[in-house]
Amino acid sequence: MTVYTNPLIVQRADPYIYKHTDGYYYFTASVPAYNLIEIRRAKTLEGLAHAAPRTIWRKHESGPMSQLIWAPEIHYIDGKWFIYFAAAETTALDQNGMFQHRMFCIECDNADPMRSEDDWIEHGQVETGMDSFSLDATCFEANDKLYYVWAQKDPDIKGNSNLYIAEMENPWTLKTKPVMVSKPEFDWETIGFWVNEGPAVIHRNGRFFLTYSASATDEHYAMGMLSIPDDQDLLDASNWSKSKTPVFQSDMATHQYGPGHNSFTVGEDGQTDILVYHCRDYTEIKGDPLYDPNRHTKVQAFTWNADGTPNFGKPVPYNYD
């Protein structure tokens, strides 16, 4: 099994890696200044570490897309590129003590998404029918339908964010009403903050597995998981099963703290499943953890248990000098 350099890319939180049909890996993530969206690509995962990033979109001077650009994800849907991200109009907190993010979508119909900033057009906010803090959108296809999964605050439910799913009319418009599939409820999901966020979806062994991250973004940050048989209605919350314990969490022995906000890709062999996530190697964070830049992108192969569920193991230790 390939051993990758870790961390693979320093100071890149909320990492997303997509392997395209052109043989390239495309990478995007939150940049520490939270002011733009960049893409880099390489033929290998290792190559991403040294690939030159290309800025393809910059925050607005004012308005809803002018502050705190978070967690971009790049997707290729029906021959076009789409990036989902969250942005706010201000860095101030609202009356509930929440940031004021909403979700947005941009599109590029050029075969090369890195060619020019001018190739990207804005579709504006992805409306969910709920006007509240929302972020961390991802999408996936199932049975020839496109689904959107994201995190959002419900003022009537304790906590920062729950996980929702909806079918999409197109990559920037929801077709159905949001269905909540998870909310913070277990002790490990409610340390520091009551949070379910950063969803990611992988389809294997007749099931869809939906991982997510919970608790505050310090050493308590950990990954949970929901699953559903792929022949059941994805929009029926009762069909989803939720793990009562974390599936991936800090390893104090190797100083790997707060692994989470993951995505999935595949190894260079086209078969090995790869977990992509961010992690810190220290716990003494000065000030707000949000503004500590040292959440680094890591990648590691994972295996599957006899019952068909993923076995993520532990965060691999840093292995670079």
Is the pLDDT score of 156 beyond 90?
yes
CB 133 within 8 A of CB 99: yes
Rounded mean pLDDT of 266-295? 92
Rounded mean pLDDT of 185-209? 97
CB 200 within 8 A of CB 138: yes
Q: Give SS3 for 10.
A: coil
Q: Report the distance separating Cα 140 and Cα 264, nearest Å.
A: 12
Q: Report the distance separating Cα 217 and Cα 227, nearest Å.
A: 24
pTM score: 0.97
Q: How confident is the model at residue 321 (pLDDT cuts 50, 70, 90)?
A: low
The pLDDT assigned to 230 comes to 96
Tokens of 116: 């020019």
pLDDT digits (tens, 9 = 90+) for 91-137: 998 887 889 999 999 999 999 999 999 999 999 999 999 999 999 99
Q: Report the distance separating Cα 80 and Cα 70, nearest Å.
A: 22
Return the domain boundaries, the chain. Answer: 13-311
Tokens of 74: 């790049």
Q: Report the distance separating Cα 120 and Cα 288, nearest Å.
A: 33
Residue of 199, 82, 64, 198 whose CA lies nearest to 131: 64
Q: Report the distance separating Cα 4 and Cα 299, nearest Å.
A: 7
Please list the active-site residues.
14, 197
The CATH architecture that domain 13-311 belongs to is 5 Propeller (2.115)
Listed range (82-96, 178-192, 247-261, 262-276) with the worst mean pLDDT: 82-96
Residue of 60, 18, 7 whose CA lies nearest to 40: 18
Is the pLDDT score of 304 beyond 90?
yes
Is the pLDDT score of 247 beyond 90?
yes
**Position with higher pLDDT, 287 vs 110:** 110
Q: Report the distance separating Cα 128 and Cα 164, nearest Å.
A: 10
Q: Report the distance separating Cα 56 and Cα 50, nearest Å.
A: 18
pLDDT digits (tens, 9 = 90+) for 42-54: 999 999 999 999 9
Q: Report the distance separating Cα 190 and Cα 195, nearest Å.
A: 6
